[in-house]
Amino acid sequence: MTTRPDILCIGSVLWDIIGRAPSHMRQGSDVPGRITRLPGGVAWNIAMTLARFGLRPAALSAIGQDAEGDELMTACREMGAIMDYVYRSADLPTDTYMAVEGKNGLIAAIADAHSLEAAGDKILAPLENGTLGSEAAPYGGLIALDGNLTQRLLDQIARSTLFAAADLRVAPASPGKAERLMPFLRHSRAVLYVNLEEAGTLCQTEFSSSQAAAEGLLKRGAARALVTDGGNAASDGTADGVITQQPPAVMVTRVTGAGDTFMAAHIVAESQGSSREEALARALTAAAKYVSGEHAT
């Protein structure tokens, strides 16, 4: 029997193919380096971070029935996620993300999430067919949703009765995909996790602080917004008001994944009954430890 998940992570679970070179790179560079492959996708990254904090995540995604898909399923299971609810497509290939990083940081990346997009609402079947929920008895637990899904499906989710009882936590997949989360601005219960740039994209403006961004998102109709701003103060805005806290000052050794760490730590804190102030402080502490290289993975 499958263990009951603590949280569903809906969105991209794919292979990350990352090329890293120790030299400074620019367009057209052809240099020696290392190429690695590991499970990725925003939903997966959130799932793994949640698992690190002690929750048992289940993924809802589309993975091909190809050899890459079989290997991905095995790798994800070995890392502790429940993969039984994943939609395995017979005719769609397993998705891939490819990035090139030089000494001077990320040079470029391409996210090929076409199979997830093509699978559409098939990935949500377990929430409808009674496996995890149904129209009559919607899933009532935590859900982390990533913005790799199509605008159309995100729109459908925002209005669906299948999600009416869920504690929905939403994150954009990349700054370029932030506007796909627009349907959740007027959603009565969704919690948005965005950085300052993504908040600006959603509100079609530029914000100078997380507090202003949280207020802006609330004004546009968001029920709740958590806004981070790197080493600057982060905010949690609800109808009850905006709480703002300064992250601990740390020596930064890595920033990729800081937003996922913040979100996962915040969800875990609230699932353990923390107040809004406490949850924000715990998320900032976890993200500070992460960027300073303390939980190196």
Ligand X SMILES: O=c1[nH]cc([C@@H]2O[C@H](COP(=O)(O)O)[C@@H](O)[C@H]2O)c(=O)[nH]1
Instruction: Give the residues lining the site for ligand X (CB under 6 A).
Output: 12, 14, 16, 40-42, 45, 97, 111, 113, 148, 173-174, 177, 256
Backbone angles phi, psi at 41, to 5 degrees: 95, 145
Determine if 258 is a binding residue for ligand ADP (CB under 6 A).
Answer: yes
Q: Quick count: other Cβ atoms within 10 Å of Cβ 71? A: 14
| Stretch binding ligand ADP (CB under 6 A), from 55-63, 98-106, 110-118, 253-261 | 253-261
Considering CB distances under 5 to 8 angstroms, the limit depending on partner class, which of ligand ADP, ligand X, none binds residue 226?
A: none
CB contact set of 8 (below 8 Å; sequence gap of 6+): 57, 58, 59, 60, 85, 132, 139, 141, 142, 143, 144
Name beta bridge partners: 14.
40
- CA 266 to each of CA 16, 57, 122, 184, 279: distance values in angstroms, whole numbers, following the listed order: 25, 15, 29, 19, 5
Min dist CB 212 to ligand X, Å, is 23
Both tokens of residue 243?
């709480």
Determine if 133 is a binding residue for ligand ADP (CB under 6 A).
Answer: no
Considering CB distances under 5 to 8 angstroms, the limit depending on partner class, which of ligand X, ligand ADP, none binds residue 164?
A: none
Do residues 53 and 265 make contact, with C-beta atoms less than 8 angstroms apart?
yes
Considering CB distances under 5 to 8 angstroms, the limit depending on partner class, which of ligand X, ligand ADP, none binds residue 288?
A: ligand ADP
Q: Quick count: other Cβ atoms within 10 Å of Cβ 3? A: 9
Determine if 284 is a binding residue for ligand ADP (CB under 6 A).
Answer: yes
Do residues 108 and 78 make contact, with C-beta atoms less than 8 angstroms apart?
no
Nearer to ligand X by Cβ, of 116 and 281: the residue is: 116
Determine if 217 is a binding residue for ligand ADP (CB under 6 A).
Answer: no
Determine if 173 is a binding residue for ligand ADP (CB under 6 A).
Answer: no
Compute the 3-state secondary structure of the chain and give helix, strand, coil in percent, each to the nearest 5: 35, 25, 35
Residue with the shortest CB distance to ligand ADP: 259
Considering CB distances under 5 to 8 angstroms, the limit depending on partner class, which of ligand X, ligand ADP, none binds residue 231?
A: ligand ADP
DSSP state of 5: P
Considering CB distances under 5 to 8 angstroms, the limit depending on partner class, which of ligand X, ligand ADP, none binds residue 40?
A: ligand X
The number of residues that bind ligand ADP (CB under 6 A) is: 17
CA distance 47 to 57: 6
Q: Which of 247, 264, 267, 270 is the binder for ligand ADP (CB under 6 A)?
A: 247
Q: Which of 53, 230, 238, 244 is the binder for ligand ADP (CB under 6 A)?
A: 230
Residues at the site binding ligand ADP, with contacts judged by CB under 6 A: 195, 228-231, 234, 247, 250, 252, 255, 258-259, 262, 284, 287-288, 291
